[in-house]
Structure 1
Amino acid sequence: MGRHRGLRFDPAARVPRQFAQIVASEFAPAALDHPILFTKRADTGAFYAGALLSLVAGESPLAGTFRPADVEREGFFVDAERIVIDRAHPQFGAAEGEPLFDPEGSPSPSLRHVQRALARLDAGLATTDQLVQRLLQVGVIEPIDISLSFDSGEKLVLQDLYTVSLDALRDLSDQDALALLREGDLQLCYIQAQSVGHIRRMAQRRNDQLAAAPV
């Protein structure tokens, strides 16, 4: 802790995220504000769940109350039960910002917030991986086509994203449906599928922004 006593971090220096990983316990709060979708890791090809925060990389996320733990802990990691930081992250480069520790050497409120986010991720990653694997095993995850056109003439195509197929859910055998129900997966499936409707709201918001932008 001594090396980091004077270290400050500025969350405002974070680069806006277009897509952030979430865990199963975050599905319900995330679905209030954002579409929940699945995608594959570039390095392993493994599926994971995430919240679509904006339609275009680098743009500010859609306003809402939900902040993924993966965003809240950005720049902080867990290594062998210790919290470590990425000093190269932009939020640690500012001369001003929030201290990591108070004058007595205890974690500041901001650092405690990060600790809670890391704990939420650590507790939920394995459970969420298992959820995704069960959905893949019964074949209810399918690609989703997101092609958007705006009044300005701009077009956006979001690729490599997946959703739960409600048709596939309805076609499940009684045995598979009961198994998903008992695991609590069915509720999460419907939360995820319904959250996709936020894409229309995000598109309308961007359309309004483009229309209001100076020519």
Structure 2
Amino acid sequence: MDLRILPLAVTMMAGPQIVAAVILVTTARPVRVCLAFVLGVAVATAAGVAIARGLCALLGQAVSPGSPSDRGSAATVFQLVLVGLLALVAVKNYVRRRTVEIPKWLGSLMEAGPGKALMSGLLVILLMPSDIAVMLTVGANLEQHQVGWTAALPFIAATVLIAALPLLVYLLFGDRARRAMPRVRAWLMTHSWAVNIAACLIFIVLILTP
């Protein structure tokens, strides 16, 4: 797998995904709840990459994915289409930044238990268009290099690590983290549009970087 794919793990958790992780670390049982969320993220990412790899393999039987250096390959064309879509999403987030509302499901996580946190970790990966796009890009990259699903383990591990960062900060910094996390949560919930734009731009830069 191309090592340039690894930074896409940041995009996987940018947006409502990292906001959810921060909210969960401010709940009454943060350790149990956050561990359940991270487990959900790990399972969803591993399954999503496996499915994406399979879809790209099927596509490769009909349309040759080409070599990684071939700018006209089907996989590369697919990535460039994603760039256009992500640019539109970024513009949409900026235009609507003053009217954006926090999703109700994010607010409900403040009372979440381990079961709901686990389900949130699964769905926040499998149902987010940006994450689906990233996993399809990883699958296309695996197909281009003709390697199996296990080659994506560093990407999966990086995604899980980022999902666990709020919990790690909470455990490492103790009372200071406990006092700071609610403020971080409030900022992220009111500036989610900026986080979404940043995620789109990171994804675009990584795809276009030779």
Tell me, yes or no, whether TM beats 0.5: no
Which structure has more helix as a fraction of its residues? 2
TM (normalized to structure 2)? 0.26
TM (normalized to structure 1)? 0.25
Which structure has more strand as a fraction of its residues? 1
